[in-house]
Amino acid sequence: MGRVAQSFRFLWRALDGLRRVLHLVLLLLLFGVFALAFRHPLPMVPSKAALVVRLQGRLVEQFSGSPLNRSLGLMTGDHEPETLVRDVVDALREAAHDDRIRLVVLDTADLSGGGLTKLRAVADALQEFRKSGKKVYAYARYTTQEQYYLMAQADRAYIDPTGEITITGFAAYGLYFHDALERLGVTVEVFKVGTHKSFTEPFTRQSMSAEDREQTLGWMTPLWQSYVDGVQSARHLPAGAIDAYVHDTVALLKAVDGNAARLAEQRGLVNGLKSSLEFEREIAALVGEDSSTHSFNAVDQADYLAAVGPESALSRHPAGEVAVLVAAGDIVTGDGGPGQIGADTFAESLRKARFEDDVKAVVLRIDSGGGSMLASEVIRQEVAALKAAGKPVIASFSSVAASGGYYIAMEADQIWSEPTTITGSIGVFGMTATFERTLDKLGVSSDGVATSSLAGAMHPERALAPETREVLQLGVAHAYHDFVGRVAAARKKAPADIEAVAEGRVWIGAEAQKLGLVDRLGGVDAAIKAAAGLAKLPVGKYGVSWREKEMSWRERLMRELGADGQALARATGLLPATPAILTQVLGGAERELRTLGSLDDPRHVYAYCGCAPR
């Protein structure tokens, strides 16, 4: 009887395995049909064309999530579009020396932000393109502050006669939940070191603290000035022009009967007012008309990179290379999820670079406000081991490299920051919530026995015992002093010198350099050159490899079929249309919830800074 049962089990497993294989084959066949139905022809670059740089969603240093997650998310509308800064810069650099590309058309209509540092990187690439003698054209119907920063870099910028350019300045407003949590009976326990460590304030206060208000204005004011200077320089506007446009909006609009487009033209923000058809005709006169679309001859940035990328890559034969590892998102334990820096995954990438003979130096491109202290320490140890192995390490800061984001950088041979990077925030906190009062409102209580006062102390249905509070506070205090001490050792300074600029204070890159927290100001290209110099690699003889997590075959399949799947979803109506304002609100709320969900340190100790203008 046992053998019969065993035979049936074997037969069932075989049939189930066959079912799974057939299901997979059917799925692949369906994807193949969809890909054939919606596949685009191989990208071709016309002999005379405009390169269309279309920026969608947020500018990012690294895509959040695997190709599988992004493709499925785009098909269902659950994933915010993203544009890789590196792709935009690469396309513009290739186009500058490509005789087929006569000009660039900049489309920022779907850009939702990403930080001034990333906007500056794209702006610099546009200015570099213009040095080739070719022009940049931009058109918009309505332009946000972030979109206009790039639009201002164009030789010729136009808006629709019914359009508007909205520039308001920077702000950092947040929601505060103390009273709401009290009404719900939720007890939030906070343990921190650092007078300016403000991440926990929304849960313990009903308004911004004086310390946070002071430090936020401290980095936001120069950040705004950098925005103003960038726009005024690009548009050749006099000093004070943008501030006048912002502060005198009502009076200026009254003078033109509320015509925002005419006001933008009068104040020199654009070169003129044109409809989209008029703009297309102007570009068509320069590059010719596409007979199939009756618009101008154009090649999209993604198609252009697909066409010229392989050829460009094959032309390089480096004797050695600088590996660039991007650390973008919240720092978490384990492998991490979409948009996160998993300690184990990133440590493995660092370890792999350490033992690869071709890798002569490493650049860490960091865009992170930090996260788990334990996870940050795992990464720091691997950075130190890489450096000890004799391979130079340069840390390069993007928009944010604060708290844990700074922690993982401090062992580098050099730290390079963008002038507008938000950094510092050397401080530590712990936070947990208990719901005993909430349960009491419902007539529920918790009771039991334990072998010590610490046993079961972290159960959320019970209030923290005094001993547990003391243990957590001692742990946070130790982590803070360890943080300060490690920074002091790495920066070759006295702990008291670091303490003076710590306490959770946030700085922008230019100020951080003066304080000794960073070595040089410059972008990722400058950091790569510095790394090559430390490795004594001959100029022009080395390669640069941007390291990504290795993809599974499923992810590679979804990367190939992602665009076709999105086209299918749009064609069949599966991709929902969400109002822009709702997308903006929900997107911000989703990012906040994702951050809270990433607080996974087993010791409940975090080096995190939620510092960015909103």
pLDDT tens digits along 140-175:
999 999 999 999 999 999 999 999 999 999 999 989
pLDDT in tens, 230-250: 999 999 999 999 999 999 999
Identify the burial level of 579 via C-beta atoms within 10 angstroms of its C-beta, where 0-12 means exposed, 13-18 middle and 19 or more buried: exposed
Q: Model confidence over 478-522: pLDDT tens digits?
A: 999 999 999 999 999 999 999 999 999 999 999 999 999 999 999
Find tokens 């390169």 and name the residue: 51
pLDDT score at 611: 79
Q: How far apart are CA 506 and CA 484, in angstroms?
A: 15
Per-residue pLDDT tens over the stretch 547-574 = 876 554 454 454 444 444 444 444 444 4
How many angstroms separate the CA atoms of 291 and 252, rounded? Answer: 44
Tell me how far apart the alpha carbons of residues 610 and 174 are, in angstroms, rounded to a whole number. 11
Q: Give the helix ranges, DSSP H, for 47-113.
A: 67-76, 85-96
169 to each of 143, 246, 269, how far by Cα in Å?
Answer: 14, 7, 16
Q: What is the pLDDT of residue 5?
A: 45
The 10 Å Cβ neighbour count of residue 393 is 25
pLDDT of residue 610: 79
Q: List, in sequence order, the alpha helices (H) in 297-368.
A: 301-314, 343-355
Beta-sheet strand order (sheet of 428-434): 187-193, 428-434, 606-608, 370-372, 330-332, 340-342
pTM of the model as a whole: 0.85
Which helix or strand (DSSP H or E) is residue 12 part of? Answer: helix 2-38
**Phi–psi pair at 166, nearest 5 degrees:** -100, 110
- Which one is catalytic: 118, 134, 192, 197? 197
Q: Convert the pLDDT of each residue in 577-602 to its tens digit.
A: 444 444 444 444 455 555 666 677 88
Is there a catalytic annotation at residue 391? no
* Number of continuous H segments (helices) and E segments (strands) in the chain: 23, 21
Per the model's pLDDT, the better-predicted residue between 401 and 41 turns out to be: 401
Parallel, antiparallel or unpaired: strands 370-372 and 606-608: antiparallel
Is 403 labeled as catalytic in the residue annotation?
yes
Write down the pLDDT at residue 560: 47
Q: Is the pLDDT of residue 264 over 80?
A: yes
Q: Can you give the pLDDT at residue 592? A: 54
The predicted pLDDT at position 599 comes to 72
| CA triple 346-352-354, angle to 5 deg | 105
Extended strands (E) in 176-280: 187-193, 272-273
Q: Where are the domains of the chain?
A: 49-166+237-311, 318-442+457-551+602-608
Could you give the CA distance from residue 392 to residue 323 in angstroms, rounded to a whole number?
A: 11
Residue 163: how many other CB atoms lie within 10 Å:
19
pLDDT (tens digit per residue) in 405-453: 999 999 999 999 999 999 999 999 998 889 999 999 999 999 999 898 8
171, 276, 419, 569 from 220: Cα distances, Å = 8, 36, 13, 41
Burial environment of residue 475 by CB neighbours within 10 A (0 to 12, 13 to 18, 19 or more) = middle
User: How far is residue 164's CA from residue 273's CA, in Å, rounded to a whole number?
Assistant: 11
First to last CA, the chain: 70
Q: How far is CA 219 from the centre of its chain?
A: 19
Quote the CA–CA distance of 511 and 521 in Å, as a whole number: 10
Query: How many C-beta atoms lie closer than 10 Å to residue 571's C-beta?
Result: 12
E-assigned strand segments in 350-389: 359-368, 370-372
- State residue 575's pLDDT score: 44
* Residue 271 to residue 344: CA distance in whole angstroms: 51
Give pLDDT, residue 606. Answer: 87
> In angstroms, what CA-CA distances link 540 with 278, 316, 522?
44, 10, 20
Name which of 485, 522, 490 is nearest 396 in CA terms.
522
Are domains 49-166+237-311 and 318-442+457-551+602-608 of this chain identical in fold?
yes
Task: State yes or no: pLDDT of 259 exceeds 70.
Answer: yes
Answer whether 118's CB lies under 8 Å from 398's CB: yes
Listed in sequence order, the residues at least 6 apart from 374 whose beta carbon sits closer than 8 Å to its beta carbon are 333, 343, 601, 602, 603, 605
Residue 283, Ramachandran bin (φ over 0: left; ψ between -120 and 50: alpha; else beta):
alpha
State residue 317's pLDDT score: 57
Q: What's the CA angle centered on 335, arms 331 and 338, to 5 degrees?
A: 70
Q: What tokens appear for 399 in the block? A: 């928009």
Instruction: Give the DSSP letter of residue 194.
Output: -
Please state the CATH superfamily assignment of the domain spanning residues 318-442+457-551+602-608 in this structure.
Answer: 2-enoyl-CoA Hydratase; Chain A, domain 1 (3.90.226.10)
Instruction: Name the catalytic one among 226, 372, 398, 403.
Output: 403
* Tens digit of each residue's pLDDT (9 = 90 or more) over 87-110: 999 999 999 999 999 999 999 999
CATH class, 49-166+237-311 region: alpha beta
CA–CA separation, 26 and 24 (whole Å): 5
Percent of the chain surpassing pLDDT 90 = 68
* DSSP H stretches of helix in 424-494: 436-441, 466-490
Dmax (CA) for the chain in angstroms is 95
Give the ranges where 236-328 is alpha helix by DSSP (H). Answer: 241-247, 249-255, 260-266, 276-287, 301-314
Residue 198 contacts residue 428 (beta carbons within 8 Å): no
Residue 516 and residue 509: Cα distance in Å, rounded? Answer: 10
Amino acid 183 reads R
pLDDT of residue 121: 96
- What confidence category does residue 64 fall into, taking pLDDT thresholds of 50, 70 and 90? confident
| Res. 125: pLDDT tops 90 | yes
Q: Given this model, what pLDDT does residue 291 score?
A: 86
Q: Average of pLDDT values for 55-81?
A: 71
Contact 605, 428 (CB under 8 A): yes
Tokens describing residue 458: 């972290």
Tell me the torsion sign for CA atoms 546, 552, 558, 560. Answer: positive
